[in-house]
Amino acid sequence: MPKKIFAMFLALLIAAVLLCSCDISAANGDQSNTGTNSDDPAVGDGTSYSDFITVMTEIKGYGDRMAEMGLPVQSEYYYSFAGASASAFRFAAEYILWLKGEGETFESFTSGSRYAGWERIAEINYTSPYPSYFEGLILEVQGLTEECFDPYASAAIMPMFPEEGLDFYYLKSMSVEKLYALRDSLRALEDSIYSAYTPVLNGHEWDKLFFDAEYLIALSYQSVQAEDYSTALYYAKLALKADPFYATAWHNAVMCAIYAEETELAGGYIDEGLAVFPEDGQLLEFRQMMLDIAKGMEAGQ
């Protein structure tokens, strides 16, 4: 299944860069300032922040390529994953700086950044394990060992959690100067991502199972049964963002868009779904149905 292949790609890419020192390049070829590589942990001493930025820059590049191909759902999948991950890391770095005495109120200290709050950042893409992971990390560095268990556990069960695990605890002992440099590098990465993609956030309560496309499809089906078609479409969109390589997610999105009377959106889902699954019988039937409706409307004019 392609989603599993993508998860394996992330794990393999992180594992590969752990074996070497890598230069960090932004999506447009600009160099990100991450400080010197000697400040980054060595293999076995923690997860490299330079490697993290390398991986997310690569994923943002996939979003660029999908956007160039006219595939908005596919591009959002990559952009939003990289965005949620980068924003979570940057928010964690800011939190640790504040714990070290930087700034006055935490709200004012983070006001110069795009997104703040674990729930708000997670909503950018619920499949990213990093909002949950870094939420757990911040609790752990404050000595809240019992409280950190749930967010750590939530991150660990997600398909995109790297198989080799994550260890950014060393951030607690980094100097203020280096933490500011890291924060600025992550802000630069966010600028690159969000200049190409703007998340649509509505403040929905964070359900820790929103990474599961099948669960989201079930929620959309329940909403259809309740004739709440706008909510059904909301869950259908989340299911596509969670796994655009799952044919059922496309079938569900088309049906929910039709129920919500979003005909143009339904047509877009059909077209892009067929770009991913060109021989899918259900999507081909949807396309023919839309063509028949259009012909009937023209004949009736």
Q: In which element (H, E) is residue 254 found?
A: helix 247-259
More confident residue, 15 or 65: 65
pLDDT tens digits for 256-279? 999 999 999 999 999 999 999 999
Give the residue-averaged pLDDT of 206-220: 97
CATH number listed for the domain at residues 213-300: 1.25.40.10
Give the residue-averaged pLDDT of 148-153: 97
What contacts 177, CB < 8 A, 6 or more positions away? Answer: none
pLDDT beyond 50 at 90: yes
In the chain, pLDDT over 70 holds for what percent of residues?
Answer: 83
Checking 106-114 for CB contacts under 8 A at 24+ apart, the result is: 113/87, 113/187, 113/190, 114/87, 114/190, 114/194
Q: What is the pLDDT of residue 84?
A: 98
Tell me how far the alpha carbon of residue 22 is from its chain's centroid.
23
CA 122, 256, 287: angle at the middle one, nearest 5?
Answer: 120
Closest of 231, 177, 187 to residue 36, by C-alpha: 177
Q: What is the pLDDT of residue 250?
A: 98
Across 18-32, 54-68, 201-215, 233-247, least confident range? 18-32
pLDDT beyond 60 at 10: no
Q: Around Cβ 231, how many Cβ atoms within 10 Å?
A: 18
Read off φ and ψ for residue 190, nearest 5 degrees.
Answer: -60, -45
Contact 270, 287 (CB under 8 A): yes
Give me the residue spans of the domains in the chain: 2-194, 213-300
Residue 165's region, left for phi above 0, alpha for psi from -120 to 50, else beta, is left
